[in-house]
Amino acid sequence: MRAPELSIVVPVFNERANIAPLVGLVADALPDVAWELIFVDDNSPDGTSEEIKELAANDPRVRGIRRVGRRGLSGASIEGVLSSSAPYVAVMDGDLQHDERVLTRMLALIRAPNVDLVIATREREGSHITGLSDKRSFVSDFGSFLSRLVIKNYVKDPMSGFFMFRREVVERAAPKLATEGFKILVDILATTEEPLQIRETPYVFRERQHGESKLDARVAFDYLGFLFHHLTGRLVPIRFFLFGIVGALGVVVHLAALRFALSGLPSLGFDGAQITATLIAMASNFILNNQLTYRDRRLHGFQFLIGFVLFALSCCIGLVANVGIARLIYSDGQIWWLAGLAGAITGSVFNYVTSGLFVWRKR
């Protein structure tokens, strides 16, 4: 058997019913190419990995990476790419929405000298991407518009999940790529320093037949965090952005709770109302962080209760750091807003670090 010229990396989560059909379709589409399929499964509960391994046992062109304790489309794709030694690599969805017949055209384009990246661009019917609902089409277009903030090259469909590249391009960028995101192509385009030679080729995006989409409203928040991450020169982690949004919402919750406590429960007095509002805001921040910021490490049941206690404790330590820094800066020049801001930022960074270390720690 020839060593593969093309590795096709397919991130999958709960796609059991799509695996065997995809292998068959790829084999039919690339009869004269030495290809391999690398499925990267995040330990799907539906038995996707078992299905992959059963196929791989009978076909040396199929491989599977099963990741445990991790979730994320970008991270899974990057690991798949890094496990390849072929000169060319494609990233493709495992739900049959990407037309495998385009792979031949993409391969012909990438084989040309000096081409670094080929994007399969989703075809349009008027303002609407075929195969997507109006709502999803709008989300994709808006995301694409925002991506221009961080990418230098003009490409028609930076939100495409179907593309092929010379392996070195991503090998070089890999240490800087964010593993939490959903839009790995935007990340590659934003991260690569040298200008890339890019080709685009149109195709018709298919409707999903089996299983369901994993893209939900939370992915949109991640994407905003991802843009912020790039706009700050990759200084601010994606997660910190989410943590900050939740914190800002916490201020609103706090003020609303304080107002209700003052008018509805006058017997509490101001101190009592302020303590109640603080507890409510802490609980709401904890729940939102558990649902959004740390959804890949979400706590349940007893762990959830323990987590809340640890979160409240770490908020108290954050408060001490906040007041300490604010006092120091205030004593220096009496600029109240600078002192307040520096304190708030210090407290947030402190809370972010401690909650990552103690509350939602990596297992």
Binding mask 121-160 for ligand GDP (x = CB under 6 A): ----------------------------------------
Which class for 117: exposed (0-12), middle (13-18), buried (19 or more C-beta within 10 A)?
buried
Q: Does the footprint of Mg ion cover residue 95 (CB under 5 A)?
A: yes
Which tokens in the block code for residue 249? 């919402």
Cβ-based nearer residue to Mg ion, 51 or 93 = 93
Per the CB < 8 A criterion, the answer to whether 241 and 224 are in contact is yes
User: Out of 71, 105, 111, 218, which residue is the one contacting ligand GDP (CB under 6 A)?
Assistant: 71
Cβ-based nearer residue to ligand GDP, 38 or 246 = 38
* Residue 13 binds which entry of ligand GDP, Mg ion, none, CB below 5-8 Å type-dependent: ligand GDP
Q: Does the footprint of ligand GDP cover residue 163 (CB under 6 A)?
A: no
User: Out of 51, 95, 180, 187, which residue is the one contacting ligand GDP (CB under 6 A)?
Assistant: 95
Q: Does the footprint of ligand GDP cover residue 78 (CB under 6 A)?
A: no
Q: Does the footprint of ligand GDP cover residue 222 (CB under 6 A)?
A: no
Stretch that binds Mg ion, among 27-35, 73-81, 89-97, 191-199 (CB under 5 A): 89-97
Stretch that binds ligand GDP, among 34-42, 103-111, 148-156, 354-362 (CB under 6 A): 34-42
Edge-to-edge strand order for the sheet containing 6-12? Answer: 62-66, 35-41, 6-12, 88-91, 163-166, 117-122, 198-203
Cβ-based nearer residue to ligand GDP, 16 or 230 = 16
User: Out of 7, 49, 97, 144, which residue is the one contacting ligand GDP (CB under 6 A)?
Assistant: 97
Q: Does the footprint of Mg ion cover residue 140 (CB under 5 A)?
A: no
**Shortest Cβ 96–Mg ion spacing (Å):** 9
Q: Does the footprint of ligand GDP cover residue 11 (CB under 6 A)?
A: yes
**Shortest Cβ 211–ligand GDP spacing (Å):** 7
Contacting positions for Mg ion (CB under 5 A): 93, 95, 97
Contacting positions for ligand GDP (CB under 6 A): 11-13, 15, 40-42, 71-73, 76, 93-95, 97, 161, 213-215
